[in-house]
Amino acid sequence: MRRRVYRELFASAREDGKLTVTNRIIVALILVSVTLAIVGTERDFVRGNPGLFRWAEFTFGLAFLVEYAARFWAAAEQPGPGGPWSKRFVWARSVFALIDLAVVIAALFPFVVTGAPVLRLLRLLRLAALLRFGRFSVALRELQGAVVERRYDLFVTGALAMVLLLGGATALHWAEGSVQPDAFGSIPRSMWWSIITLTTVGYGDVSPITPLGKVLAAMVALGGIGLVAMPTGIIAAAFSDAMQRVREREASGGNDS
Amino acid sequence: MRRRVYRELFASAREDGKLTVTNRIIVALILVSVTLAIVGTERDFVRGNPGLFRWAEFTFGLAFLVEYAARFWAAAEQPGPGGPWSKRFVWARSVFALIDLAVVIAALFPFVVTGAPVLRLLRLLRLAALLRFGRFSVALRELQGAVVERRYDLFVTGALAMVLLLGGATALHWAEGSVQPDAFGSIPRSMWWSIITLTTVGYGDVSPITPLGKVLAAMVALGGIGLVAMPTGIIAAAFSDAMQRVREREASGGNDS
Amino acid sequence: MRRRVYRELFASAREDGKLTVTNRIIVALILVSVTLAIVGTERDFVRGNPGLFRWAEFTFGLAFLVEYAARFWAAAEQPGPGGPWSKRFVWARSVFALIDLAVVIAALFPFVVTGAPVLRLLRLLRLAALLRFGRFSVALRELQGAVVERRYDLFVTGALAMVLLLGGATALHWAEGSVQPDAFGSIPRSMWWSIITLTTVGYGDVSPITPLGKVLAAMVALGGIGLVAMPTGIIAAAFSDAMQRVREREASGGNDS
Amino acid sequence: MRRRVYRELFASAREDGKLTVTNRIIVALILVSVTLAIVGTERDFVRGNPGLFRWAEFTFGLAFLVEYAARFWAAAEQPGPGGPWSKRFVWARSVFALIDLAVVIAALFPFVVTGAPVLRLLRLLRLAALLRFGRFSVALRELQGAVVERRYDLFVTGALAMVLLLGGATALHWAEGSVQPDAFGSIPRSMWWSIITLTTVGYGDVSPITPLGKVLAAMVALGGIGLVAMPTGIIAAAFSDAMQRVREREASGGNDS
């Protein structure tokens, strides 16, 4: 019995990597619960039917509590040495188990305690349920490996991007600091401009107005664009490699994780 | 006779992949009709010569109706088993035949029924005529195959982008929700900010104003840019591969589709 | 004598591809003349010393006239059959010779005719002198070849981008046309929004304000970004290939153009 | 003794490329000092505890002075011919030694001289301490080599980008110069628009308002985007190659710089 529950709940217990029926139901529950949590932040919807939202929050919280308890109980079936309780506590200390627990608490706590600011944060924490999908994904593990492999590249490009961001912020602080003290009055303030410019977002809430400031900003924009995107580019390349490896492994048949 | 019409109308009936004279005329008709439909939405032009636009709409609708009827009749010549009528209905249920029908209805219906809102939508539907070019294109079929091949990559990067967009929206909702309720008062509202920021469009109609909101937005911008563009990057790479295959196939001579 | 002038002026007459002393002087003249033409549009500078600008314009015009005459005379030395005059007229009809002529006329005409609007256009035409650098460049010829080779890719991606731009403009015209008639009142007007959005420039002068418009704009932004950049991406890849070929040719020694 | 100091201070003196304990302390000092210099530009922080900032500035200045003196003294141990003093002066004229000196002066000079504008520039100069990290980096030297190798590509793409920027600025100056004289009244002013547009930053402080200006701006945006990013793309590719080489060299074991 416990073995069957274990097989149903733990995706890595299956050889073919497919999701079990129970896991499919949990995925659906998470998606609906997250959608409700998102929609629930819009007051106009909640005001219309507050009962529905309270009821749904409680039901999903209860469902996730049952799932957490079942996982805790079935964790004793995990391979490896040690008694059932030591295995259970090993599982309870894993990242995904902690996320599960946080989601359960975030969903059920509002019915025990009241107090607006804590509640608001807890409500948003329910979105963390999305992270639970990580459990089902081989791709994320591959991605993690590929990123670790290129950590040196990431560090060097990250440092270069940081120097560029700081240099741009310093230049504009020097040129426009006295004209627009609110926007460029200090380097930390100028950083907002330099980040929004070098990522090419360019809201336009802050931009140089003096000729010198415009010349410096143009030089920063021409020189720095793309270089700031390099760390992300490296992660994207690492991801592309990881995907390629997953595809090749699947093509060669075995799934020996 | 019917065979000749078939050869003239159906591009795939020709071995060398070139467009026939009739097809060239249809392409020209589509381009002129779409241009007219676009210009026709600008009132200043229509007011100047309303007769021209009504007359042109009717003429193009008639021409496309004739083309549709001819294709329906000639579809009986399509290769494969079955009687002429079954072949015709197989053709009439194909995607391109349905687009053709929609365009004909959109062009001629306004002369039968009146009623502003329906008419406006129908008028815009005439732009769907552009999609009819898909019929002439080998490249689109190759692109479709390349995208299907990488559907797993697309799914994972799409999910990652979705989590980033939601995470950014949640962070800004938390930081700025009470200061700018119109823009960040709920997660669905914050999504507008996070999509416009992470695609680097950055209109500037919505941007954080508190220091905490700016710090969070800067982190979201630095971390998420490029990752949101990954699904599109995968499609672009798939397209590039598909183009390469088309070129190689053409170079090797045969066109065995 | 004429042969020496020919060798000095025509860069392609030299085997090693280096610039001659005369060509270096001409390059310097062009750069100074273009800089003056740019600065000369700023009234504050011109008002300060109008004599300098008029005198400089005349001098550069004269220098370019002398150069044009010398090239015309020396063109008789070009290899190939035909008499000196036929060779000269062949040269005079080449693209670069026509640009040279246009620059000379643009620089000297203002001293003959007066009339503000024509003059203003002529003054700007002097910037065309920059295009004259194309003459000295092997890279541009390689780039042209690489682009021609991928013209089919460019056409398909360009058509796809066009459909995306039109589709986005139509969607926003439908959603926001009645709310913001100035910005989305017709498809041509909406095109300004869709081009500025899909290139991720995002000035923010025009953006959707209704929830429906925002949802559609978010979908257009997420779906279309990167795809609009594909034609440019193809040109960039073509350029990269062309550069690689130039480098390899130089490495292998010969320069057989 | 001097040999030991030399080994502790000069990173290139160690065979395994790791940082010595002294170097780790210096790195930490630089990071804290730069952070203080950044935070010190925000008046609200300084006003709170002016004593702390003055005291910290002095301490860091003193520490860097001691380090500079120690390096100057130990430089006599550098390999190669020549007496200890000639080696010291060779070192003192190197780029990194000059940056070190500038940082020391920038940190200590404010306590000798007073005068607001000079002081402000000197305070910002302390950020140059970040450049000192260059000393510890093998990657930067590799990057420099890779960029030099592709200097021709950089020159051609840079020139192409410059022509595009100028062409766009000229077109908009022609179309909008009389309508928006502040933004497009001269080509240098239009350059601000063309740089902010072609880098896709798009603040929105300056954008065309006439139909002709919008059509030209749309053409410039569609045609020029990506091409302006090409020089940065080449540097990014050069960086990627340099990183690859560093990794391969490390994998093959030796570090023979």
Q: What is the 3-state secondary structure (H, E, C) of A12-72?
A: HHCCCCCCCHHHHHHHHHHHHHHHHHHHCCCHHHHHHCHHHHHHHHHHHHHHHHHHHHHHH
Residue B170 contacts A, CB cutoff 8 Å = yes
User: Model confidence over C52-101: pLDDT tens digits?
Assistant: 777 888 888 888 899 889 888 888 888 778 888 888 888 888 877 888 88
> What is the H or E stretch that residue B28 is in?
helix B21-39
* pLDDT tier for residue A83 given thresholds of 50, 70 and 90: confident
Q: What is the rounded CA–CA span in Å between residue B64 and residue C130?
A: 49
What phi and psi, each to the nearest 5 degrees, are found at residue D78? Answer: -60, 145
Taking residues D90-102, what's their average pLDDT? Answer: 83
Q: How many CB atoms lie within 10 A of CB A145?
A: 13
- B105 and B220 inside one domain: no
Give, in degrees to the nearest 5, the angle at Cα C224 between C218 and C226.
Answer: 125
> Contacts by A66-72 with C-beta closer than 8 Å and gap 24+?
A67/A9, A67/A26, A67/A100, A68/A97, A68/A100, A68/A101, A68/A104, A70/A5, A70/A9, A71/A9, A71/A10, A71/A97, A71/A100
Distance in Å, alpha carbon of C242 to nearest chain B alpha carbon: 17
**Which chains border B (3 or more CB–CB pairs < 8 Å)?**
A, C, D
Residue D148 contacts C, CB cutoff 8 Å = no
**Most C CBs within 10 Å: which of B19, B232, B244, B249, as the mutation test of the C interface?**
B232
**Most B CBs within 10 Å: which of C148, C154, C156, C235, as the mutation test of the B interface?**
C156
- D181 and D121 inside one domain: no
Q: Answer yes or no: are the C-beta atoms of C73 and C95 closer than 8 Å.
A: no
- CATH number at D34 reads 1.20.120
Q: What is the rounded CA–CA span in Å between residue A199 and residue A224?
A: 9
In B, which residues are within 8 Å of C182 by CB distance?
Answer: none
In C, which residues are within 8 Å of D221 by CB distance?
Answer: 195-196, 199, 201
Residue D168: name the closest of D89, D227, D92 by CA: D227
- D70 and D145 inside one domain: no
- D125 and D185 inside one domain: no
Q: Answer yes or no: are the C-beta atoms of A22 and A8 closer than 8 Å.
A: yes
Q: Answer yes or no: are the C-beta atoms of D209 and D164 closer than 8 Å.
A: no
In B, which residues are within 8 Å of D202 by CB distance?
Answer: 201-202
- B131 and B30 inside one domain: yes
- Answer whether C130 sits within 8 Å of D207, measured CB to CB: no
Q: What is the pLDDT of residue D257?
A: 40
Query: Using CB atoms and an 8 Å cut-off, which of residues 53-82 of chain D contact chain A?
Result: none
Q: What is the rounded CA–CA span in Å between residue B51 and residue B139?
A: 39
Residue A166 contacts D, CB cutoff 8 Å = yes
**Which chains border A (3 or more CB–CB pairs < 8 Å)?**
B, C, D
| pTM exceeds 0.80 | yes
Q: What is the rounded CA–CA span in Å between residue A56 and residue A66?
A: 15
In D, which residues are within 8 Å of C235 by CB distance?
Answer: 226-227
Instruction: Establish, for the pair of chains B and D, how many residue pairs have beta carbons separated by less than 8 Å.
Output: 6
What lies within 8 Å, CB to CB, of A161 at 6+ separation is: A198, A227, A228, A230, A231, B222
Q: What is the rounded CA–CA span in Å between residue D59 and residue D66?
A: 11
Q: What is the 3-state secondary structure (H, E, C) of C50-92?
A: HHHHHHHHHHHHHHHHHHHHHHHHHHHHCCCCCCHHHHHHHHH
| Count of domains forming chain C | 2
Query: Which of B127, B133, B202 is the closest to C166 by Cβ?
Result: B127
Instruction: Calculate the average pLDDT of chain A.
Output: 79
Residue A139 contacts B, CB cutoff 8 Å = yes
- Answer whether A188 sits within 8 Å of D38, measured CB to CB: yes
Find the residue in D nearest to B205 (Cα).
Answer: D204
In B, which residues are within 8 Å of D204 by CB distance?
Answer: 203-204
- C132 and C7 inside one domain: yes
Residue C133: name the closest of C235, C62, C20, C31 by CA: C31
* pLDDT tier for residue D135 given thresholds of 50, 70 and 90: low
- Answer whether C174 sits within 8 Å of B127, measured CB to CB: no
Radius of gyration of chain A (CA): 25
Q: What is the pLDDT of residue B3?
A: 82
Distance in Å, alpha carbon of B3 to nearest chain D alpha carbon: 44
Find the residue in C nearest to B241 (Cα).
Answer: C153
- C207 and C217 inside one domain: yes
Residue B111: name the closest of B58, B32, B50 by CA: B58
- Asked if residue A16 has pLDDT above 70, the reply is no
Q: What is the pLDDT of residue B134?
A: 60
- A148 and A252 inside one domain: yes
Last residue of a domain, one of B104, B136, B168: B136
Q: What is the rounded CA–CA span in Å between residue A78 and residue A67?
A: 17
Q: What is the pLDDT of residue B257?
A: 40
In A, which residues are within 8 Å of B170 by CB distance?
Answer: 124, 127
Q: Answer yes or no: are the C-beta atoms of C195 and D218 closer than 8 Å.
A: yes
ipTM for the predicted complex comes to 0.83
- B169 and B195 inside one domain: yes
Q: Scanning the structure block, which residue is given the tokens 């945006």?
A: D221
Instruction: Calculate the average pLDDT of chain D.
Output: 79
Last residue of a domain, one of D75, D103, D136: D136
- CATH number at B214 reads 1.10.287.70
Cα distance between the two ends of chain C: 25
User: Model confidence over A22-70: pLDDT tens digits?
Assistant: 877 887 888 888 888 888 888 777 777 777 777 888 888 888 889 889 8
* pLDDT tier for residue D30 given thresholds of 50, 70 and 90: confident
Distance in Å, alpha carbon of B236 to nearest chain D alpha carbon: 15
Instruction: Establish, for the pair of chains B and C, how many residue pairs have beta carbons separated by less than 8 Å.
Output: 88
- Answer whether A41 sits within 8 Å of B173, measured CB to CB: yes
In B, which residues are within 8 Å of D203 by CB distance?
Answer: 204
Residue D155 contacts B, CB cutoff 8 Å = no
- Answer whether B204 sits within 8 Å of D203, measured CB to CB: yes
Q: What is the rounded CA–CA span in Å between residue C240 and residue C250?
A: 15
Q: Is D13 exposed, middle or buried (0-12, 13-18, 19+ CB in 10 A)?
A: middle
Q: Is C199 helix (H, G, I), strand (E, B) or coil?
A: coil
- B129 and B179 inside one domain: no
* pLDDT above 90: percentage of residues in chain D: 16
Residue D184: name the closest of D172, D166, D194 by CA: D172
Q: Answer yes or no: are the C-beta atoms of C58 and C74 closer than 8 Å.
A: no
Q: What is the 3-state secondary structure (H, E, C) of chain D?
A: CHHHHHHHHCHHHCCCCCCCHHHHHHHHHHHHHHHHHHHCCCHHHHHHCHHHHHHHHHHHHHHHHHHHHHHHHHHHHCCCCCCHHHHHHHHHCCHHHHHHHHHHHHHHHHHCCCCHHHHHHHHHHHHHHHHHHHHHCHHHHHHHHHHHHCHHHHHHHHHHHHHHHHHHHHHHHHHHCCCCHHHHCCHHHHHHHHHHHHCCCCCCCCCCCCHHHHHHHHHHHHHHCCCCCHHHHHHHHHHHHHHHHHHHHHHCCCCCC
**Mean pLDDT: which of A127-141, C60-74, C148-162, D150-164 is highest?**
C60-74
Q: Answer yes or no: are the C-beta atoms of B102 and B128 closer than 8 Å.
A: yes
Q: What is the rounded CA–CA span in Å between residue C39 and residue D187?
A: 7
Q: How many CB atoms lie within 10 A of CB A244?
A: 13
C16 vs A182, more confident: A182
- Asked if residue C199 has pLDDT above 80, the reply is yes
Taking residues D130-159, what's their average pLDDT? Answer: 74
Distance in Å, alpha carbon of B141 to nearest chain D alpha carbon: 26
Q: What is the rounded CA–CA span in Å between residue D139 and residue D81?
A: 28
Q: Answer yes or no: are the C-beta atoms of D204 and C202 closer than 8 Å.
A: yes
* pLDDT tier for residue D216 given thresholds of 50, 70 and 90: very high
Q: What is the pLDDT of residue D194?
A: 94
C56: containing domain: 2-136
Q: How far is CA D243 from the centre of its chain?
A: 19
Taking residues C103-125, what's their average pLDDT? Answer: 65
C55 vs A192, more confident: A192
Distance in Å, alpha carbon of D198 to nearest chain B alpha carbon: 13
Q: Answer yes or no: are the C-beta atoms of A235 and A147 closer than 8 Å.
A: yes
- Answer whether B221 sits within 8 Å of A204, measured CB to CB: no
Local structure of residue C226 (DSSP, 8 states): T
Which amino acid would we find at residue D220? V
Query: Which of D39, D130, D228 is the closest to A166 by Cβ?
Result: D130
Q: Answer yes or no: are the C-beta atoms of B231 and B158 closer than 8 Å.
A: yes
Cα distance between the two ends of chain A: 25
User: Model confidence over D33-71: pLDDT tens digits?
Assistant: 888 888 878 877 777 777 777 788 888 888 888 988 988
- Answer whether B227 sits within 8 Å of A204, measured CB to CB: no
* pLDDT tier for residue A169 given thresholds of 50, 70 and 90: very high
In C, which residues are within 8 Å of D187 by CB distance?
Answer: 37-38, 41-42, 127
Taking residues A205-220, what's their average pLDDT? Answer: 93
- D100 and D162 inside one domain: no
Which amino acid would we find at residue C224? G
Q: What is the pLDDT of residue A257?
A: 39
- Asked if residue D208 has pLDDT above 70, the reply is yes
Q: Answer yes or no: are the C-beta atoms of D185 and C43 closer than 8 Å.
A: yes
Per-residue pLDDT of chain B (257 residues; tens, 9 = 90+): 788 888 777 765 555 556 677 877 887 888 888 888 888 888 777 777 777 777 887 888 888 889 889 888 888 888 778 888 888 888 888 877 888 888 888 777 766 655 445 556 666 666 666 666 665 566 677 777 878 888 877 887 888 888 889 889 989 998 998 899 999 988 899 999 999 999 989 999 999 999 999 999 999 998 777 677 777 777 777 777 777 777 777 777 544 44
**Most D CBs within 10 Å: which of A170, A197, A209, as the mutation test of the D interface?**
A170
Q: What is the rounded CA–CA span in Å between residue B20 and residue C244?
A: 40
- Asked if residue C193 has pLDDT above 50, the reply is yes
Q: What is the rounded CA–CA span in Å between residue B168 and residue B170?
A: 5
Q: Answer yes or no: are the C-beta atoms of B82 and B36 closer than 8 Å.
A: no
- D158 and D121 inside one domain: no
Last residue of a domain, one of D136, D161, D185: D136
Cα distance between the two ends of chain B: 25
Residue B41 contacts D, CB cutoff 8 Å = no
